[in-house]
């Protein structure tokens, strides 16, 4: 822990990076929220974000008359796809190379 000016210890202000589990069912255990699917303890911000996303999914399901389970699957699938896309390296800048046609012989320049 960092030490303050008066020599006392102060809690670290840096938060560790968290990865959300992506599940929506949560239950309060004491003063903390816990995911019922995987058992991960959620921070307050993660719990609030899950509630916001779940309410959006419920609203979309009611408006589109799609079963809630299918709406959740769509959202979870989209999140998984975004995670996969984020892991794929992207090209920096455009390529100026002209693709060469295979099997075509070049004419000699006279």
- Indicate whether 49 belongs to any domain: yes
- The answer to whether 42 and 33 are in contact (CB under 8 A) is yes
- Indicate whether 21 belongs to any domain: no
Look-up of token digits 């916001």 = 52
- Indicate whether 35 belongs to any domain: yes
**Spatial strand order in the sheet of 26-29:** 26-29, 32-35, 41-42
* Structural domain of 77: 26-87
- Indicate whether 34 belongs to any domain: yes
Tens-digit pLDDT profile for residues 31-56: 888 888 888 888 888 888 888 888 88
- Indicate whether 96 belongs to any domain: no
- Indicate whether 73 belongs to any domain: yes
- The answer to whether 2 and 9 are in contact (CB under 8 A) is yes
Please state the domain count of the chain: 1
Tens-digit pLDDT profile for residues 53-90: 888 878 887 888 877 777 666 766 776 777 777 888 77
How much is the pTM? 0.42
- Indicate whether 97 belongs to any domain: no
- The answer to whether 24 and 50 are in contact (CB under 8 A) is yes
């Amino acid at each position: 822990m960092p030490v303050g000016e008066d020599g006392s210890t102060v809690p670290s202000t840096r938060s560790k990076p968290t990865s959300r589990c992506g599940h929506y069912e949560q239950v309060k255990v004491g003063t903390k929220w816990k995911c019922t699917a995987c058992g991960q303890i959620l921070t307050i911000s993660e719990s609030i974000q899950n509630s916001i996303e779940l309410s959006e999914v419920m609203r979309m399901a009611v408006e589109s008359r799609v079963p809630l389970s299918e709406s959740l699957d769509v959202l979870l699938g989209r999140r998984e796809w975004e995670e996969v896309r984020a892991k794929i390296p992207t090209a920096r800048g455009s390529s100026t190379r002209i693709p060469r046609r295979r099997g075509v012989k070049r004419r000699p320049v006279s």
